[in-house]
């Protein structure tokens, strides 16, 4: 039986977050430039989005560019921005065909203007879709996001529009960029690295982690389905004991 057939559709994670890693090493393994790995990585993105639509995952969040990635060589950063722009433009129609709504989180204003414009256009054109929300984390870092939320809350307290005892988990979460998106039940990182690299720190407090050695350009929907099957074998206890769960 294939992995897809092993998935219990009644116990799907609602939200899968992915750290797409290993593009550079994948290219290097074939004696190619790192940028070639990023271009090939786009094919994986397409397949994974369709895989999510195929099985009924409602939220998919992809770490596409971290705040720290700005420190890469300029040629690589420029190439990544170009790949982002051309992919958004080429794929909007397919997103609509698959009823996927595009969303973006991160310090979007720090992106090149062309990127911002194309993102806004694609988000507008796909805003009516309800099958799956695809969120791209761009110029994103969780510490940046948590600090930004903290500053907003502090400002409201200072202006007396919010009382300190009104600061609850729900209130805090509503100030994060992921407002209206449930916390991910499953986080996948490719390429054999076992870290979260400043990704969704608040949101992943109780997320199940899945690490695979597969490099991102080789990651396809069968690998995604394998991760979902693995996730479904786990018992999520949230601090309780086994016997307390139904």
- Using the contact rule CB under 6 A, the part of the chain among 57-65, 82-90, 109-117, 226-234 near ligand IPE is 57-65
Over the range 173-206, which residues count as b (16 or more CB within 10 Å of their CB) and which as e? bebbbbeebebbbbbbbbbeeeebebbbeebbee
Q: What CA–CA distance (Å, rounded) separates 169 from 172? A: 5
Q: Is 135 in the site for ligand IPE (CB under 6 A)?
A: no
Give whichever of 60 and 153 is closer to ligand IPE, judged by the CB atom: 60
Whether the Cβ atoms of residue 2 and residue 228 lie closer than 8 Å to each other: no
- Minimum Å gap between C-beta 75 and Mg ion is 17
Scan residues 160-199 and list those touching ligand IPE (CB under 6 A): 191, 193, 195, 197
Q: What are phi and psi of 133, to 5 degrees?
A: -105, 115
Residues that are catalytic: 21, 69
Residue 12 or 19 with smaller CB distance to ligand IPE: 19
Interacting partner of 184 out of Mg ion, ligand IPE, none (Cβ under 5 to 8 A depending on kind)? none
CA angle, 141 as apex, 139 and 143 as ends, to 5°? 145
* Closest to Mg ion by CB, 195 or 234: 195
Q: Can you tell me the distance from the alpha carbon of 70 to that of 107, in angstroms, rounded to the nearest whole number? A: 12
**Nearer residue to ligand IPE within complex by CB, 59 or 219:** 219
Q: How far apart are alpha carbons 203 and 184 in whole angstroms?
A: 7
Site for ligand IPE in 64-103 (CB under 6 A): 64-66, 69, 80
Which ranges of 132-219 does DSSP label H, i.e. alpha helix? 142-158, 169-174
Q: Which of 19, 21, 210, 217 binds Mg ion (CB under 5 A)?
A: 21
Contact residues: ligand IPE, CB under 6 A: 19-25, 63-66, 69, 80, 191, 193, 195, 197, 216
């Amino acid at each position: 039986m294939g992995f897809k057939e092993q998935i219990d559709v009644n116990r799907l994670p609602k939200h899968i977050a992915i750290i797409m890693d290993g593009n550079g090493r994948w290219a290097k393994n074939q004696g190619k430039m790192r940028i070639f790995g990023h271009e090939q990585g786009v094919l994986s993105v397409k397949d994974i989005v369709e895989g999510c639509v195929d099985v009924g995952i409602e939220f998919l969040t992809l770490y596409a560019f971290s705040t720290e990635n700005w420190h890469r060589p300029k040629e690589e950063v420029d190439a990544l921005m170009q790949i982002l722009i051309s992919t958004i433009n080429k794929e909007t129609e397919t997103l609509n065909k698959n009823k996927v709504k595009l969303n973006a989180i991160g310090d979007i204003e720090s992106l090149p203007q062309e990127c911002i414009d194309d993102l806004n256009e694609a988000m507008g054109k796909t805003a009516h879709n309800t099958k799956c929300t695809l969120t791209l984390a761009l110029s994103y870092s969780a510490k940046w996001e948590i600090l930004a939320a903290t500053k907003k809350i502090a400002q409201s307290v200072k202006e007396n529009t919010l009382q300190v005892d009104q600061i609850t988990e729900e209130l805090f979460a509503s100030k994060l960029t992921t407002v209206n998106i449930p916390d991910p039940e499953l986080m996948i990182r490719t390429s054999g690295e076992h870290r979260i690299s400043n990704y969704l720190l608040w949101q992943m407090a109780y997320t199940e982690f899945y690490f695979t050695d597969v490099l991102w350009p080789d990651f396809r929907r069968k690998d995604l389905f394998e991760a979902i099957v693995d996730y479904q074998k786990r018992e999520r206890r949230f601090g309780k004991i086994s016997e307390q769960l139904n």
